[in-house]
């Protein structure tokens, strides 16, 4: 029995080269219509900010998107020269920290604008010199100012304020839907909002709109055209696609744009999640497996124990319903997933030994288990599968 490392074997392998290549691929898809901001929030979708943020910058990203000022400060330490957009906006009292780390906040509440203004002034920023982006609520009801309230809010951007309205931002919440009706309605509200901004005599540089689905559905061109009509440039903010996963589009998506098929072929998964067989036992017919004996052996079986459980982010609903890859073959999960372990049926797989590498998510031989497979098995989405991979699971870079 041999483990290459004397640690509990549950880790993810991250390929920084894949992130670099994915960024270049997406930037090329957006060009010449839009710039691409790389979303690295939530510890780079669970992939590890320290590995991923520098990789996308090497791939050419000038802009990183994170959720909070805390995440922005972490990203600043890693990427001294990147522009960093804090998508969730500053919480009360955080504006001085945002200014100290040159973080570009999204703002939409009067108090946020007032706090940022005071923080920028305290840091000796002159008139109209500290860039901020304004979020418009075009239908998601999550963040942002209502289009009809923009004119009043814009009065806070006075010529004497240190704040410079650099970008107008909204989120497209249904770019993966078939008929595109919601997105068309959001474009109408967005255009109305841009007219209000122009009428206020403000001239932002960026129209900051949309995520992976918007980019892959081909919205860079219409967004670029809308931005150009107001003397702006479009920016799109993919996250999931950067990590090599194409969002699932509505099956009714009429006339799937060729960009989606191109992305399926061109993007490379950046993450593989692995463990090892840490125990093997043969159990007789009638033996039960795991908590509450939800699995009963119908014949003599070989059970492989793996060092991955729900505390590592392995969804408990996968018990008795999913597989992992062992020696290039699919081994069913039997019994309930435990906090730190799970059990595999390796009866049919020849020569399994303690120490064998097991793939939870990724490729082994000719078999692949994707984040979409995990999501489909547990009724969720790949975003949640990635972000639930536990903090005790080491993120290890691999170069290939």
Ligand X SMILES: *Cc1c(COP(=O)(O)O)cnc(C)c1O
Residues that bind ligand X (CB under 6 A): 39, 41, 87, 171, 211-212, 237-241
Q: Which of 33, 216, 42, 205 is nearest to 128 (CA)?
A: 205
Least Å distance, CB 219 to ligand X, is 12
In the complex with ligand X, which residue's Cβ is closer, 180 or 332? Answer: 180
Do 133 and 206 meet the contact criterion of CB atoms below 8 Å apart? yes
Active-site residue flag, 302:
no
Do 53 and 75 meet the contact criterion of CB atoms below 8 Å apart? yes
Least Å distance, CB 23 to ligand X, is 13
The catalytic position among 23, 203, 291, 310 is 291
In the complex with ligand X, which residue's Cβ is closer, 209 or 361? Answer: 209
In the complex with ligand X, which residue's Cβ is closer, 41 or 276? Answer: 41
Q: State the pairing for strand pair 357-364/329-334.
A: unpaired
Do 73 and 101 meet the contact criterion of CB atoms below 8 Å apart? yes
In the complex with ligand X, which residue's Cβ is closer, 36 or 326? Answer: 36
Least Å distance, CB 81 to ligand X, is 22
Q: Is the backbone of residue 255 left (phi > 0), alpha (psi -120 to 50) or beta?
A: left
Least Å distance, CB 249 to ligand X, is 12
The catalytic position among 5, 23, 41, 45 is 41
Least Å distance, CB 217 to ligand X, is 11
Distances (CA, A) of 183 to 214, 222, 223, 371: 9, 11, 11, 26
Residue 379: count of CB within 10 angstroms of its CB: 9
Hey, which residues does 345 pair with through a beta bridge?
A: 303
- Is the CA virtual torsion 113, 68, 166, 170 positive or negative? negative
Please name the residues in contact with 34: beta carbons below 8 A apart, sequence gap of 6 or more: 215, 220, 223, 224, 227, 233, 234, 235, 236
Q: How far apart are CA 321 and CA 309, in angstroms?
A: 14
Least Å distance, CB 41 to ligand X, is 6
Q: How far apart are CA 330 and CA 358, in angstroms?
A: 10
In the complex with ligand X, which residue's Cβ is closer, 26 or 314? Answer: 26
Q: How far apart are CA 218 and CA 222, in angstroms?
A: 8
In the complex with ligand X, which residue's Cβ is closer, 210 or 304? Answer: 210
In the complex with ligand X, which residue's Cβ is closer, 237 or 336? Answer: 237
Angle at 133 between CA 132 and CA 135, to 5 degrees: 145
Active-site residue flag, 291:
yes
Do 226 and 261 meet the contact criterion of CB atoms below 8 Å apart? no
Least Å distance, CB 384 to ligand X, is 11
Do 239 and 210 meet the contact criterion of CB atoms below 8 Å apart? no
The residues assigned a catalytic role are 41, 291
């Amino acid at each position: 029995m041999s483990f290459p490392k004397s640690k509990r074997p549950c880790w993810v392998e991250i390929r920084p080269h894949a992130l670099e290549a994915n960024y270049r691929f997406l930037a090329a898809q957006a060009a010449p219509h839009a710039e691409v901001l790389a979303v690295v929030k939530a510890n780079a979708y669970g992939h590890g900010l320290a590995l991923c943020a520098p990789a996308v910058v090497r791939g050419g990203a000038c802009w990183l998107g994170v959720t909070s000022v805390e995440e922005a400060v972490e990203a600043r330490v890693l990427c001294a020269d990147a522009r960093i957009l804090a998508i969730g906006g500053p919480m009360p009292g955080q504006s001085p920290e945002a200014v100290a780390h040159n973080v570009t906040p999204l703002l939409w509440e009067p108090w946020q604008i007032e706090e940022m203004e005071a923080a920028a002034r305290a840091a000796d920023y002159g008139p109209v010199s500290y860039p901020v982006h304004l979020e418009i609520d075009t239908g998601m009801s999550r963040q942002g100012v209502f289009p009809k309230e923009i004119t009043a809010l814009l009065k806070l951007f006075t010529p004497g304020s240190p704040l410079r309205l650099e970008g107008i931002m909204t989120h497209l919440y249904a770019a993966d839907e078939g008929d595109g009706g919601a997105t068309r309605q959001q474009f109408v509200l967005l255009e109305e909002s841009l007219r209000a901004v122009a009428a206020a005599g403000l001239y932002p540089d960026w129209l900051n709109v949309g995520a992976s689905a918007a980019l892959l559905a081909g919205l860079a061109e219409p967004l670029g055209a809308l931005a150009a009509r107001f003397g702006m440039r479009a920016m799109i903010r993919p996250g999931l696609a950067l990590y090599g996963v194409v969002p699932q589009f509505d099956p009714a998506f009429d006339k799937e744009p060729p960009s989606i098929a191109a992305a399926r072929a061109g993007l490379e998964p950046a993450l593989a999640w692995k463990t090892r067989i840490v125990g093997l036992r043969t159990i007789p017919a009638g033996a039960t497996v795991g908590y509450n004996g939800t699995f009963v052996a119908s014949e003599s079986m070989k059970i492989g124990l793996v060092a991955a459980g729900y505390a590592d982010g392995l969804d408990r609903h996968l018990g008795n319903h999913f597989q992992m890859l062992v020696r290039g073959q699919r081994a069913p999960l039997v019994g309930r997933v435990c906090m730190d372990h799970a059990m595999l049926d390796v009866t049919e797989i020849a020569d399994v030994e303690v120490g064998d590498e097991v793939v939870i998510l990724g490729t082994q031989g000719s078999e692949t288990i994707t984040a979409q497979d995990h999501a489909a098995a547990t009724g969720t989405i790949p975003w949640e599968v990635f972000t639930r991979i536990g903090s005790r699971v080491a993120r290890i870079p691999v170069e290939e």
